[in-house]
Amino acid sequence: MKSILVTGASGQIGSELVAKLQDVYGEDNVVATDIRKSPDAAQQSAGPFEILDVTDGKRMFEIAKQYDVDTVIHLAALLSARAEENPQLAWNLNMTGLVNGLEVARQLDCQFFTPSSIAAFGPSTPKSGTPQDTLQRPNTIYGVTKVSGELLCDYYHSKFGVDTRGVRFPGLISYVTPPGGGTTDYAVEIYYHAVQYGNYTSFIGKGTYMDMMYMPDALDAIVQLMEADGDKLVHRNAFNITAMSVAPEDIESAIQELMPGFAVSYAVDPVRQAIADSWPSSIDSSCAEMEWGFRPRYDLGEMTKDMLLKLHRKLQ
Ligand code: AKB
């Protein structure tokens, strides 16, 4: 049975991942940590919770030791758009936090997972069907931290034997905890606005394709990769994974299937549009499929049905 430390547990992925890990490994075997507790009582984990600023390596080590963890899932990070507003803060939080997590894993012999992102690619990367191994020259600070993070995780594996694993997440869509400060956030907002107002003004332009995935598939992928036989992994940090490549008008059409009056207009934000334009329009996840059996369950239609149902219940 694993004993898992999760950083960034109050965030978009963390708030749902903690509950999933508790289901799989038991409530007391998942230590949720974040710089603050989620203000939403429904999202507070039932198991142990500790306040942790991930740039404080000493405190991270103390918590890991206190709970005798054998796995670290490091999620705390600043996302793309917010990182662009404060690059120094982004570097410090994303890289110092990661080094601290890796050091805990090295010193306490833990398995280690941290997400990378489609942001680890840049304008010179092949834009469609982006291969697992390709050019990675991102021009955003978030992307720079993600490529650096991938390399550092590989280094900890080859140099110190730490069992590091990761995926390059696309935009993640969920109805539980909204993301904050990302470029793909429009694809979450659009569903909230559909239910609340019946229309949406997109800050990402028509025809901008990016990879996306529904949160249940993202959570399954983390557990599946962590449970995968290490001997079968050719790659580690980090696997391309995706469930769909969509533009705003595709999500609009999928919502219109269930809400015919719904309409999207556009007020493009140049900063976030430039970030989106520097990312792939679709990535190839065949290495993840072959090496550890990645297979998402939700396409755009199934995800849209579930999102609208859950948001109607949540917001009305
Ligand atoms: C963002 O938009 O910054 C994130 C990501 C793709 O990593 N959702």
- What is this model's ipTM? 0.98
- What's residue 179's pLDDT? 83
Q: Is the pLDDT of residue 44 over 80?
A: no
Which residue has the least CA distance to atom 7 on ligand 1? 117
Quote the ligand 1 centre to 107 CA distance (angstroms): 30
Residue-wise pLDDT tens digits, 89-114: 999 999 999 999 999 999 999 999 99
- What's residue 46's pLDDT? 81
Determine the Cα–Cα distance for residues 53 and 58; give it in Å rounded to an integer. Answer: 10
Q: Is 298 a catalytic residue?
A: no
Residue-wise pLDDT tens digits, 257-291: 999 999 999 999 999 999 999 999 999 999 999 99
* Predicted model pTM: 0.96
Which residue has the least CA distance to atom 1 on ligand 1? 182
Residue-wise pLDDT tens digits, 56-78: 999 999 999 999 999 999 999 99
- Ligand 1 and 171: CB distance under 6 A: yes
Which of 25, 67, 142, 155 is the catalytic position?
Answer: 142
Q: Is the pLDDT of residue 9 over 90?
A: yes
Residue-wise pLDDT tens digits, 140-154: 999 999 999 999 999
| Residue that the structure tokens 């028509």 belong to | 206
- Ligand 1 and 140: CB distance under 6 A: no
- What's residue 316's pLDDT? 79
Residue-wise pLDDT tens digits, 250-266: 999 999 999 999 999 99
| Residue that the structure tokens 């956030």 belong to | 185
Q: Is the pLDDT of residue 38 over 90?
A: no
Quote the ligand 1 centre to 117 CA distance (angstroms): 7
Determine the Cα–Cα distance for residues 122 and 13; give it in Å rounded to an integer. Answer: 24
Residue-wise pLDDT tens digits, 218-228: 999 999 999 99
- Ligand 1 and 94: CB distance under 6 A: no
Quote the ligand 1 centre to 81 CA distance (angstroms): 8
- β-pairing, 282-283 with 116-117? unpaired
Quote the ligand 1 centre to 142 CA distance (angstroms): 9
Residue-wise pLDDT tens digits, 173-219: 999 988 889 999 999 999 999 999 999 999 999 999 999 999 999 99
Pocket test for ligand 1, best of 169, 174, 241, 282 (most atoms within 8 A of CB): 169
Ligand 1 atom with the shortest distance to the CA of 170: 6
- Ligand 1 and 80: CB distance under 6 A: yes
- What's residue 37's pLDDT? 84
Alpha-carbon dihedral of residues 258, 260, 264, 265, nearest 10 degrees? 180
Quote the ligand 1 centre to 218 CA distance (angstroms): 13
- What's residue 45's pLDDT? 66
Pocket test for ligand 1, best of 13, 75, 78, 80 (most atoms within 8 A of CB): 80
- Ligand 1 and 116: CB distance under 6 A: no
Residue-wise pLDDT tens digits, 298-308: 999 999 999 99
**b/e map of 131-147 (b: 16 or more CB within 10 Å)?**
ebeeebebebbbbbbbb
Q: Is the pLDDT of residue 40 over 90?
A: no
- What's residue 42's pLDDT? 55
- What's residue 269's pLDDT? 97
Q: Transcribe 153-221 into DSSP letters.
A: HHHHHHHH---EE-EEE-EEE-SSS---S-STTHHHHHHHHHHHHSEEEESS-TT--EEEEEHHHHHHH
Q: Is the pLDDT of residue 41 over 70?
A: no
Peptide bond into 238 cis (omega under 30): yes
* Count of CB atoms situated within 10 Å of the CB of 87: 15
